[in-house]
Structure 1
Amino acid sequence: MTEAAGDRGPLLVTQIDSSNILADIVAVVQSPPTQPVTILQRLGLEDEKVQEIKWDDLTEKVKPDHLTSCFIPHLESPIASELQKFVELVSELRIQCPWDAEQTHSSLTSHLLEETYEVLEAIENFNEETGEGSEDLEEELGDLLFQVVFHSRIAADDARFDLTDVTKGIHEKLRRRHPGIFTTEEDPLMNDNPDSAHKRWEELKKEEKKRSSVLDGIPDSLPALAYTQKIFEKSKTLDLLDEEIAIDRFLPETDEELGKIFLDLVFWAAKNGFEAERALRVANSKFVTFIKSIETLAEDRSVDLFSADNKTKKVLKEEIRKRDSKD
């Protein structure tokens, strides 16, 4: 049973002839099944007994004999045990491998970036309908997980934090950011749709981190296009985006068409002496300044942008535009 503990079933465990053996079976399975298991006793005899029992009740409700077996339809994935083995392996590599031993957070940044891009490539090659590419995605996610565990190990060696702190931190954060799900109190601002959930997330994040703007915290090192996408998503939660986006040519309907527009625009910029990355960074900076100015004005007037009506937001936007036009 110990060797099969990592399997997910179905499993038939025979010759459970004592309470001690039954207790050992229960103990060795670190991720027990959530559905009942079937206990088979003395099959074919007059006193045969077949019963379904919850895993946690096995040692109390079953009296084993030499004709007792247990059918387990499904075992939960042994996430905890596999993760623990992986953590122990990384710790051993940190001690035994000369290359691993000399690494620091800084020296691993290029590796972290490379593994992140390889995950993105695997996702791009993954077929959502057929599942083709799952093996590659699984492998690349494993490589990225190694980076997370490795950085946590380095921090633990320096007595700063470890993987337990990392997982506990994200666990608590996710619970805090979803009050409508994990608290007994209803969250009146959390409606049953993704946009409302995202809006509430950004509001709670701003309060929690005591930030003056929802745009604070976006990494400046992001590529300009990724940065643009990020400020769009965050500004959208305040409903401060203009409904119409100016564009002189046809609106793309597919990723390929949109990509062609980007390609043509970058080529045109290069041909005419413009640096596309820099130009977009400048535009990003101006937009961020515009949104933050609205937030500051709203705060000065005790206006909560997350709950303000569109008319109020429009007035604030026009006021900032008029002020900027005079500068």
Structure 2
Amino acid sequence: MTPTSLRAVMQALRNPVSGCPWDLEQDHQSLARFLREEAAEVLDALAAHVPGDPEKERHFCEELGDLWLQVAFHAQLAQERGAFDLRDVEAMVVEKLVRRHPHVFAGVEVENAADVLVNWAAIKRDEKAGRGQETRKRLLQGMAASLSPLDEAMEIGKRCAKVGFEWPDLEGVLDKVREEIGELQAETELDRVESEFGDVLFSLVQWARKKGVDPDRALRRQMDRFRGRFTKVEDFAEANGGWEAQDLGALEAAWQEAKKAPEGP
């Protein structure tokens, strides 16, 4: 009988007698790279997602399922050694969400999303204190090692903003971006150019944060647009004698034409 739940599928795949040889060889460490890859593919699908578009919705759903598979695989390994199972994973996150949303489940009053974040941080501190963990740490300590540089820059900005170390308005951040670009343009020595380039990127991320733009999603979508447009330039070159027959002017003209083409929903 074909299993109908992900939990049942994982148990069948890991059956020591009739399971899949590849799945039986895996452990938490060997699966780590697949978890990273599937999370990245979900982000790619999200960057290209168009609500209501059937194909985009299907692709997003599929990638979420692939990520869910990784969670289920790790939970199955834990179940086999008697640590926890997929139900425990769900129960733990449900309990945590209920505890951290007293304004929804316990009658606590909040006025806005900022109040929610304040409560959330206080509850997390109480949780750590209850487990006997050190509650005082440097503001920028304790970030997940798996964060991409863009996400870590966003998190740094968010943490600093919570304690008031923040630009008063969006124009102030843009002024900082302009200042850093000016300093980048003034440098010639490679190490200093790299340093100033990092300052420009960091400032741009903070502008995006304050503007409400996800820089990771923005960059993913831009790269997707670039690939689509460059494909048209490549088609142009192949139809006109190949890359070696083109000069920069011809390629730039083809690029401008590619930019005018509709990009789909």
Q: Which residue of structure 2 aligns with residue 137 of structure 1?
A: 60
Task: Give the TM-score of the pair, scaled to structure 2.
Answer: 0.59
Aligned pairs (5 A) from 1:268-279: 272-273=190-191, 275=194
1:149 paired to 2:78: no
Q: Which residue of structure 2 aligns with residue 16 of structure 1?
A: none
Q: Which residue of structure 1 aligns with residue 124 of structure 2?
A: 205
1:86 paired to 2:6: yes
Secondary structure at 2:29 match in 1: coil
- In 1: Cα distance, 2:188 partner to 2:95 partner: 47
1:225 paired to 2:150: yes
What is the CA-CA distance between 1:114 and the residue it aligns to?
Answer: 0.5
Higher relative contact order by CA 8 Å / sep ≥ 6: 1 or 2? Answer: 2
- In 1: Cα distance, 2:187 partner to 2:49 partner: 33
Query: Residue deviations 1:183-240, cap 9 Å, x none?
Result: 1xx42xx523222212221221122123224644321342322111112223333333
Pick closer, same or farther for the CA change 1:268–1:93 going to 2, 3 Å: farther
**Kept after mapping to 2: 8 A contact 1:269/1:275:** no
Pick closer, same or farther for the CA change 1:216–1:182 going to 2, 3 Å: farther
- In 2: Cα distance, 1:134 partner to 1:101 partner: 32
- In 2: Cα distance, 1:97 partner to 1:155 partner: 18
Structure 1 or 2: larger helix share? 2
Structure 2 segments unaligned to the other structure (5+ residues) = 130-134, 203-265
One-letter amino acid of the structure 1 residue matched with residue 162 of structure 2: T
Aligned pairs (5 A) from 1:1-327: 85-95=5-15, 96-128=19-51, 130=53, 133-183=56-106, 186-187=107-108, 190-210=109-129, 211-213=135-137, 215-243=140-168, 244-245=172-173, 247-249=176-178, 272-273=190-191, 275=194
What is the CA-CA distance between 1:107 and the residue it aligns to?
Answer: 0.4
Pick closer, same or farther for the CA change 1:89–1:279 going to 2, 3 Å: same
- Structure 1 or 2, whichever has the larger Rg, is 1
- The number of equivalent residue pairs is 184
- In 2: Cα distance, 1:148 partner to 1:203 partner: 28
Percent sequence identity is 31
Structure 1 segments unaligned to the other structure (5+ residues) = 1-80, 251-260, 284-327
Pick closer, same or farther for the CA change 1:98–1:203 going to 2, 3 Å: same
Query: Residue deviations 1:66-124, cap 9 Å, x none?
Result: xxxxxxxxxxxxxxx96xx2101111111200110111111001100000010000001
**Kept after mapping to 1: 8 A contact 2:51/2:57:** no
Structure 1 or 2: larger strand share? 1
**Kept after mapping to 1: 8 A contact 2:140/2:159:** yes
Secondary structure at 2:30 match in 1: coil
What is the CA-CA distance between 1:177 and the residue it aligns to?
Answer: 0.4
- In 2: Cα distance, 1:233 partner to 1:270 partner: 32
Pick closer, same or farther for the CA change 1:248–1:114 going to 2, 3 Å: closer
One-letter amino acid of the structure 1 residue matched with residue 178 of structure 2: R
Query: Residue deviations 1:236-267, cap 9 Å, x none?
Result: 333332424352529xxxxxxxxxx8xxx999
Pick closer, same or farther for the CA change 1:269–1:182 going to 2, 3 Å: farther
- In 1: Cα distance, 2:185 partner to 2:69 partner: 38
Pick closer, same or farther for the CA change 1:248–1:122 going to 2, 3 Å: closer
Secondary structure at 2:118 match in 1: helix
